[in-house]
C-alpha cells in the first residue's frame, strides 16, 4: 500500500514539474519573441528605409547579387582583399563585415551603377539593368544585414 502511495506521489510530482517547466519555457519563448520583435522595430525605426523597401530589396538582391556576394551578403571567399589569379578582386561581403559600411549611400549607389571594374573588381554595372527604385531597395536590404552597431557607425560617418 505504501508503494502505491509513493508511486502516485511521484507521478503527481513529475506531472507538476513537467507542466511547470512547460509553462516556464512557453513564457520564456514568448519573452524572447517579444524581445526580438521589439529589437527589430527599434533597430529599423532608426534606419532610413521602409519595410517595403527591405522586402523588395531582398528579392532584387536574390536575383542579381547572391551569385557573387552570397545569400546572406557574406561573400564567397575567405579573403576578399586578396587578388584572384586573374588579378581581379572577389566580391566583398556586404553584410557589415567588410568595407561597404564605410561609404555613403551616394558612393554605394555609384558602385551599383558603375560596377566594380573601375575599382579592380568584376562587378558589372547595373545602371541600365535596375531601376533607381530597385537600386535603393537593394541598398536597403544590404544595410538591413548590418548589425545595429555597424549601421550606427555608418550613420555617424554619413549624418545627412
Q: Is 128 within 8 Å of 97 (Cβ atoms)?
A: no
* CATH code where residue 108 lies: 1.10.760
- Confidence band (pLDDT; 50, 70, 90) for 61? very high
113 within some domain: yes
Rounded Cα distance, 159 and 135, in Å: 21
Report the predicted TM-score, pTM, of the whole model to 2 decimal places. Answer: 0.70
Q: For residues 58 and 138, what is the distance between their CA atoms, to the nearest angstrom?
A: 6
Question: Is 1 inside any structural domain?
Answer: no
Contacts of 38 (CB under 8 A, 6+ apart): none
Residue 12 reports pLDDT greater than 50: no
The range of the structural domain enclosing residue 151 comes to 61-160
Instruction: For residue 28, tell me if it sits in a domain.
Output: no
Read off the pLDDT of residues 100-131 as tens digits, 9 standing for 90 and up: 999 999 999 999 999 999 888 899 999 999 99
Tell how far CA 155 is from the center of its chain. Answer: 17
Q: Residue 47: name the closest of 144, 159, 158, 156 by CA.
A: 144
Give which of 151, 130, 154, 146 is closest to 59, Cα–Cα. Answer: 130
Total number of domains in the chain? 1
Q: How confident is the model at residue 77 (pLDDT cuts 50, 70, 90)?
A: very high
Task: Please indicate, yes or no, if residue 22 is contained in any of the structural domains.
Answer: no
Q: Are 111 and 123 in contact (CB under 8 A)?
A: yes
> Of all residues in the chain, what percent carry a pLDDT higher than 70?
72
Residue 44 within a domain: no
Average pLDDT over residues 57-86: 95
pLDDT of residue 45: 52
Cα–Cα dist 82/84, whole Å = 6
Query: Is a pLDDT exceeding 60 seen at residue 17?
Result: no
Q: Is residue 97 part of a domain?
A: yes
Whether 102 is covered by a domain: the verdict is yes
Average pLDDT of the chain, as a whole number: 79
Neighbour-count burial for 2-30, b at 16+ CB within 10 Å, e otherwise: eeeeeeeeeeeeeeeeeeeeeeeeeeeee
Among residues 130, 143, 120, 123, the alpha carbon closest in space to that of 53 is found at 143
Amino acid at each position: 500500500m505504501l508503494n502505491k502511495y509513493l508511486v502516485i506521489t511521484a507521478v503527481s510530482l513529475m506531472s507538476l514539474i513537467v507542466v511547470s517547466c512547460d509553462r516556464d519555457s512557453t513564457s520564456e519563448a514568448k519573452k524572447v519573441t517579444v524581445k526580438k520583435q521589439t529589437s527589430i522595430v527599434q533597430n529599423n525605426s532608426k534606419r532610413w528605409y521602409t519595410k517595403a523597401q527591405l522586402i523588395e530589396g531582398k528579392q532584387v538582391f536574390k536575383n542579381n547579387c547572391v551569385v557573387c556576394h552570397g545569400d546572406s551578403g557574406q561573400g564567397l571567399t575567405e579573403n576578399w582583399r586578396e587578388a584572384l589569379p586573374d588579378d581581379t578582386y572577389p566580391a566583398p561581403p556586404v553584410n557589415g563585415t567588410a568595407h561597404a559600411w564605410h561609404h555613403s549611400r551616394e558612393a554605394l549607389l555609384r558602385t551599383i551603377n558603375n560596377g566594380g571594374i573601375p575599382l579592380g573588381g568584376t562587378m558589372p554595372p547595373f545602371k541600365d539593368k535596375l531601376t533607381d527604385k530597385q537600386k535603393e531597395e537593394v541598398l536597403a536590404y544590404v544595410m538591413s544585414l548590418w548589425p545595429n552597431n555597424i549601421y550606427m557607425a555608418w550613420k555617424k560617418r554619413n549624418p545627412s
